Structure 1
Amino acid sequence: MPNNYYQYIEDVSDDIKTCLEGMGCQPILFVGSGLTKRYLSGPNWEELLQQLADECPNIDKRFAYYKQRYPELIDIGSVFS
Structure 2
Amino acid sequence: MVPGVISGQRFVLSPTQLGVEVAEGPRRRLTIYEVEAGRVMEVVSGLGAALRDGTLDQTELIDRTSAPPEVVVYEAG
Task: Report the TM range for the smaller structure's normalisation.
Answer: under 0.3
Question: Under a length normalisation based on structure 1, what TM-score does the superposition of the two structures give?
Answer: 0.25
Larger Rg: 1
Q: Identify the structure with the greater helix proportion.
A: 1
Question: Under a length normalisation based on structure 2, what TM-score does the superposition of the two structures give?
Answer: 0.26
